[in-house]
Structure 1
Amino acid sequence: MNNQSDSTNRLAKPMPPVMLPTQGVLLGLDFGTKRMGVAVSNSDQTVAVPVETWLVREPAQNLKHLRELIEDYRAVGVVLGLPIRTNGEEGTAAAVVRQFGVWVAEKTKLPLVYVDERYSSAEAELLIWRRGESPSKRKQPLDSLAAIVILQSYLDAPDRIIPLPVVAANRPASDINHSG
């Protein structure tokens, strides 16, 4: 095998998975271009609870709010839901979330992992329905409940994370506008 092939093969391999600390609070995020669902784990990383749904604004405000959440809860890592299509492939939405994840990791300096959020909104809807809440009250907590589902799925099976991309974007993550 020539050096060109060896070099290409090395570049094509996914980066090693990021490992989150096994103790300490984790922040779970359900990314949206308009709203962001937020959940946190307990320090033993066994249970996820809702925190809020925040309205996404311009990047500097989003970063300030994210840093406040990290400080308030003393988060040691981030779990971000990645929208995978039902056929298992990643589409445009997943690419946007991956860019957001790179931006979050870069700006907060916290380890970040992606988990499959394929059915998180449906599971959140089911949780609301089981509570017996009316449809008019459903929309507001849906994002934070989806964040619970995302975070809890990681807590229950931390070995099922989705690897980081080899190349996150064609431009620096700091140039990405996350205000949608």
Structure 2
Amino acid sequence: MMTVLMLRMIIGLRIYLRMKVMAIDFGTKRIGLAFTDPTLSFVSKTLTLKVKSEKDAAQKAAEFVFSEDIHKIILGYPLNDDGTKSEMTLKVEDFKVRLEKLVDVEIEYSDERYTSEEAEKYLHQMGKSIKGNKNRIDAISAALILNDYLRDQRE
């Protein structure tokens, strides 16, 4: 028979073994970031950062990897509608290489087709204008990428 103490230890170990994940919606002017809670149950925080270059974007993302104790990164991978690579796809690949030099965590691509459109629809439903909320679109897109990852992990 399992004691309450043993049960608490097992639950604590399961939570300890979980990891925080960060999703990135990369852009040349801004990057959207979204973070899970430590139990990988939900998106706990989102934000958008202004960046000057791919190098600046990688450095800023790396700072959050360390400050938020991130164990895995999900990087939005922008493909064309037909699944082929775009110019932005190549920039994301370059960004991934830069980021890998700065952090020692797994970086996994996630198809991000239509996340910006979904984020814009969400803002519209909330009665917000798209023009004045570009920052929110990037953060919402990162949250959508992260939600897709979390859903896939549960299946």
TM-score normalised over the length of structure 1 = 0.69
Q: Secondary structure at the match of 1:139?
A: helix
- 2:128 counterpart residue number: 133
Spell out the pairing of 1:42-57 with structure 2 (5 A cutoff). Answer: 42-57=37-52
1:70 counterpart = 2:65: yes
Equivalent position amino acid for 1:25 in 2:
K
2-structure distance, mates of 1:51, 1:135: 17
Residue 129 (structure 1) shift = 1.5
- 1:39 counterpart residue number: 34
Residue 89 (structure 1) shift = 1.3
2-structure distance, mates of 1:86, 1:94: 12
Which of 98, 104, 108 is the equivalent residue of 1:103? Answer: 98
Assess, with a 3 A threshold, how the Cα gap between structure 1 residues 88 and 42 changes in structure 2: closer, same or farther: same
Assess, with a 3 A threshold, how the Cα gap between structure 1 residues 55 and 92 changes in structure 2: closer, same or farther: same
Assess, with a 3 A threshold, how the Cα gap between structure 1 residues 111 and 86 changes in structure 2: closer, same or farther: same
1-structure distance, mates of 2:130, 2:55: 34
1-structure distance, mates of 2:130, 2:119: 13
Quote the RMSD (CA, aligned, Å).
2.2
Could you tell me whether the CA contact under 8 Å between 1:125 and 1:138 is conserved in 2?
Answer: no
Residue 25 (structure 1) shift = 1.0
2-structure distance, mates of 1:93, 1:64: 19
User: Is there any run of 5+ residues in structure 2 with no aligned partner, and where?
Assistant: 1-16
Percent identity over paired residues: 26
User: Is there any run of 5+ residues in structure 1 with no aligned partner, and where?
Assistant: 1-21, 160-180
Across the two proteins, how many residue pairs are aligned to each other? 139
- 2:5 counterpart residue number: none
Residue 68 (structure 1) shift = 2.4
Which range is displaced more, 89-98 or 63-72?
63-72
Residue 57 (structure 1) shift = 2.2
1:26 counterpart = 2:36: no
1-structure distance, mates of 2:54, 2:94: 13
2-structure distance, mates of 1:58, 1:43: 30
Spell out the pairing of 1:9-24 with structure 2 (5 A cutoff). Answer: 23-24=18-19
1:89 counterpart = 2:84: yes
Q: Secondary structure at the match of 2:133?
A: helix
Spell out the pairing of 1:150-165 with structure 2 (5 A cutoff). Answer: 150-158=145-153
- 1:176 counterpart residue number: none
Higher relative contact order (CA 8 A, sep 6+): 1
Residue 146 (structure 1) shift = 0.6
- Structure showing the higher helix proportion among its residues: 2
